[in-house]
A and B are shown apart, each in its own frame.
Chain A
Amino acid sequence: GAVVSQHPSRVICKSGTSVKIECRSLDFQATTMFWYRQFPKQSLMLMATSNEGSKATYEQGVEKDKFLINHASLTLSTLTVTSAHPEDSSFYICSASDSGRVYEQYFGPGTRLTVT
C-alpha cells in the first residue's frame, strides 16, 4: 500500500516552454502533497506543500508564478514549470501523506526534467 506515482519519469523540453508533472496517490487519499527539487549530488529541497482544494504554500525563494502547483483532488497534484529555462533542469520528487498517518510521507519515483 501507500504507492505514489509520477508522470512522466523523464522529460526534455525546449527553453521557454511549459512542462507539467503529475503526482498521483494510487491506493490512498493524499490530503497533503509535497514537491521537492533535487540537484545532482545534493539533498532534497522542499519547494511547496499543497492541501487538497486550497492554494499551495511555497517555501522561501521558490517562485510561485513559475512553479504552478494544483492539488485539485485527493489523489492528484500537478507541478507545472512555466517558461522553463536550463537552470530549471533538475530531479523533481513529489510525496504525499494521508490524514490517517500524517507523520509519514510516501515518495514518488521522481521526474528528471532537462531543459535545452
Chain B
Amino acid sequence: AQSVAQPEDQVNVAEGNPLTVKCTYSVSGNPYLFWYVQYPNRGLQFLLKYITGDNLVKGSYGFEAEFNKSQTSFHLKKPSALVSDSALYFCAVRDWDYGQNFVFGPGTRLSVLP
C-alpha cells in the first residue's frame, strides 16, 4: 500500500532564508511524486512532480525537490523564502503499478516570518 509521511506539522523560517519541507514515501512499485500548495479556503495548486529522469525537479515559484530513491524521500526546497510562501504544503504519491489514486501526506504548514 502507498503511504506518505510529512514528519513536520509546522515549519518556520525567516524571510530570505532557505526552506525545506520534508516528505518520505512508501510504495510497492514505481513512485510518481507530487508537491501541492494550498492557501486558506482554496483548492490545491500544483508545484512540481517527479515522474522519471533527473532526480532534481524544478517547479513553480522557485521551488524544487530532489527525488532520493535510497532514502525514499522527496523533500521540497527553496533557496530564499518569501512571506507569500506561507501556506499548507502537501506531498502526494502515486504508485503507477497500482492504479491512478493519489495518496496525500498530512500536510506541513509553512510560516515565513518577515
Residues of A at the B interface (CB closer than 8 Å) are 6, 32, 34, 41-44, 46, 49, 91, 93, 95, 97, 102-110, 112
Contact = CB atoms under 8 A, between A and B. Distances in A.
Contacts, number: 49
B107 A43 contact: yes
Contacts of B107: 41-43
Contacts of A107: 36, 43-46
Contacts of A49: 100-101
B89 to A, nearest CB: 11
A5 to B, nearest CB: 10
A26 to B, nearest CB: 14
B94 interface: yes
Q: Please classify how large the interface on chain B is, using the bins under 10, 10 to 19, 20 to 34, 35 or more.
A: 20 to 34
10 shortest interchain CB distances as A-B pairs: A109-B43, A107-B44, A110-B43, A43-B104, A44-B104, A107-B43, A43-B106, A103-B32, A43-B107, A108-B43
A89 B44 CA distance: 19
Contacts of A46: 101-103
A106 B90 CA distance: 14
B22 interface: no
B27 to A, nearest CB: 13
B113 interface: no
Most A-side CB within 10 Å, residue of B32, B43, B45, B105: B43
